[in-house]
Structure 1
Amino acid sequence: MPLRNPLLKVSVIVPTYRRPADLARCLAALQRQSRAPDEVIVIARGDDEMTHAALRDPAVVPGTLPLTVALVDVPGQVAALNRGLDAASGDVLAITDDDAAPHADWVARIAAAFEQDPRLGGLGGRDWVHEKGRVLDGERQRVGKVTAAGMITGNHHLGVGDAREVDILKGANMSYRRDAVRALRFDVRLRGTGAQVHNDMAFSLSVKHAGWKLMYDPRVAVDHYPAERFDDDQRFKFNDAAFYNASFNLRLIMCETLTPAGRWAFVAYSTLIGNRADPGFVRALSLAFERGGVALALRKWWVGLRAMRGAWQEAVR
């Protein structure tokens, strides 16, 4: 029987929507923890019958797992995560996705990290991405950083080395001290009806800017099996609405968190250069010649430009 640590109570929050097989794998991984979570809160939509049917199945929900189901009626991950924060009672709030499977020492490492450092507000770790029959492998030292001009390095799925301080955490594997997020909630202005891309970035930056330390430790690990999304964002297929939403969210976050000088640098850089996922004008032309498809490359740039305008208007309200 896994032991519970009496020093800190750990709540695990798992938002889910129409992924019963993935959820079953996630719950099985939580059942195998060397240090059992004190509570597991699954947030489900009221109309998601396939999830509720799975949660009634004893083969999916082990009898010894301290599981609570919290209902939410508003679509999107932001509403689900906020419902989870409201429902959780732990000193530490550990968040993972329904398509992730935490390693057996995940809860134990999280609890130990928060016990050892009272300044620790948030902790993330590596998510080993399983995609198209293989694991995305690699080694990166630079993980979870945002420059003064809003240039972002993710790499949470490739991080190696010792634990180190970072600026942003990834939603599939992030934990927070309750005292650091007591009055904080995920931003309901973020666009999208499902994933609401970058909500994890906005939340972790808010914790960081409140003066708490954010750490990344690749040993705090989950296996991540990116599953189907039931909204406009289909991961590998371009969609105007999904691209606009993700671009709007990123730009809103940067416009509100950077210094005035950094904000203007970000606007100029993202409009002219950008990155491969969200190209500026010059990068769009470069990708068009590299891959073909001038129309699609320029379309992405134009959608991103509209998103910048919308985000700027929202930020200065």
Structure 2
Amino acid sequence: MRNTVLIPTYRRPIDLSCCLLAIQAQTKPATQVIVVVRNTDQETWKFLQEFDPGNLPLEIVTVFVPGVVAALNTGLSVVRGDIVSITDDDAAPHPTWLAKISHRFDNNNSIVAVGGRDCIYQNNQLEDGSSNIVGKVQWFGRVIGNHHLGVGGIREVDVLKGVNMSFRSSAISDLRFDKRMHGTGAQVHFELAFCLALKKSGWKLVYDPQIKVNHYPAKRFDEDKRQQFHQLAFINAVHNETLGLLEYFSPVQNIVFITWAVFVGTRDALGLIQWLRLLPSQGTLATRKWFASIEGRWLGYCTWKQWDKHQKIFNVVQIPTRKALSSHKVNINE
């Protein structure tokens, strides 16, 4: 199978250099490497003019709109590989990354997406821990990530993480990341709606913790600064998560989800109970997070409610169903 690697980048040339060197070192060479660069990103353009790609089949694509969604959609429009593997510019895939990804797709035609573990390094220290529960959306709306902590064997999941996710090109040829995602850079939870649309169409998404990238979270140049509370970034993240879940759930589940979100919530999207729990330790910060959470939930609901389904660019009806492209029964342990 032909492998395309898609890398959105913005103002992180040193990180991008490490990423490209890791792609060069793959045991299974990529047949296409797409780097999507903002038109105003002079730092990256200068780096790429001086970078020697060697035998790397590098293609530079320009994007004129801020945000990871626009960058990825621009990249997807020129993909030629049978598999498109997406990673971040601040990640370095392990040498067997593409080989293991191809093996998973080769073994099962019902699998549309494959993800793996991102080994996060903070201050040159690997973030330790392990989890057997990865990439799941619980019936009432709580999203469990843990992609950086996954251990064990391959398993079916609901959502993958943007730094390490691959898709069967034929199944997503008419699908694009949702332009309704809020934010001007990272657009947190952009993967959620994309993955859940595939899940809703009957496809299988799997996670294999042996498919690894090293992830060195770098500086962001938007409102989301990592590990710091920023009201707009918080609102945007909650909006995006809310929109993705409302699109995926049934009408009854949506009622359950909204009720749970308002009255319970999580540490990243506070409901009433979470606010009361964090209030003693965080004080006014907990209150600011709670107000931002409520606003994000409301805005996400409004976006979902007001959207004209007949004019969606992100339209799940266009996704080929599993039955349309394959009659092969899934066995995630193959």
Shorter-normalised TM range: over 0.9
* Structure-to-structure mapping, 1:54-133, within 5 angstroms: 54-58=47-51, 61-133=52-124
**Percent identity between the two aligned chains:** 45
Question: Bigger shift: 266-275 or 187-196?
Answer: 266-275
Aligned to 1:278: 269
Supply the AA of the counterpart residue of 1:315: W
Unaligned runs of 5+ in 2: 307-334
Question: In 2, distance between residues paired with 1:53 and 1:19?
Answer: 11
Q: Deviations over 1:215-256 (max 9, x none)?
A: 000011000001111000001111111111001111111111
Aligned to 2:301: 312
In 2, are the aligned partners of 1:42 and 1:68 still within 8 Å (CA)? yes
Supply the AA of the counterpart residue of 1:311: G
Aligned to 2:191: 200
Question: In 2, distance between residues paired with 1:292 and 1:182?
Answer: 46
Question: Is 1:35 equivalent to 2:25 in the alignment?
Answer: no
In 1, are the aligned partners of 2:134 and 2:150 still within 8 Å (CA)? yes
In 2, are the aligned partners of 1:22 and 1:99 still within 8 Å (CA)? yes
Q: Secondary structure at the match of 2:133?
A: coil
Aligned pair partner of 2:137 in 133, 146, 163: 146
Question: In 2, distance between residues paired with 1:233 and 1:120?
Answer: 33
Question: Is 1:13 equivalent to 2:6 in the alignment?
Answer: yes
Aligned to 1:47: 40
Aligned to 1:169: 160
Aligned to 1:256: 247
Q: Deviations over 1:22-63 (max 9, x none)?
A: 0000000000000001110000011111101111123xx431
Alpha-carbon offset, residue 298 of structure 1: 1.4
Aligned to 2:260: 269
Supply the AA of the counterpart residue of 2:299: G
Aligned to 1:236: 227
Runs of 4+ in 1 over 6 A off after TM superposition: none
Alpha-carbon offset, residue 204 of structure 1: 1.1
Supply the AA of the counterpart residue of 1:313: C
Supply the AA of the counterpart residue of 2:14: A
Alpha-carbon offset, residue 259 of structure 1: 1.2
Supply the AA of the counterpart residue of 2:2: K
Question: Is 1:183 equivalent to 2:174 in the alignment?
Answer: yes
Question: In 2, distance between residues paired with 1:155 and 1:57?
Answer: 37
Q: Secondary structure at the match of 1:56?
A: helix
Alpha-carbon offset, residue 299 of structure 1: 1.5
In 1, are the aligned partners of 2:193 and 2:247 still within 8 Å (CA)? no
Unaligned runs of 5+ in 1: 1-7
Aligned to 2:282: 292
Question: In 2, distance between residues paired with 1:140 and 1:302?
Answer: 31
Question: In 1, distance between residues paired with 2:204 and 2:170?
Answer: 12
Give the TM-score of the pair, scaled to structure 1: 0.95
Aligned pair partner of 2:212 in 205, 211, 221: 221
In 2, are the aligned partners of 1:180 and 1:212 still within 8 Å (CA)? no
Give the TM-score of the pair, scaled to structure 2: 0.90
Question: In 1, distance between residues paired with 2:32 and 2:149?
Answer: 29
RMSD: 0.9
Alpha-carbon offset, residue 292 of structure 1: 3.3
Supply the AA of the counterpart residue of 2:292: V
Supply the AA of the counterpart residue of 1:17: Y
Question: In 1, distance between residues paired with 2:137 and 2:50?
Answer: 43
Q: Highest relative contact order (Cα 8 Å, sep 6+), 1 or 2? A: 2
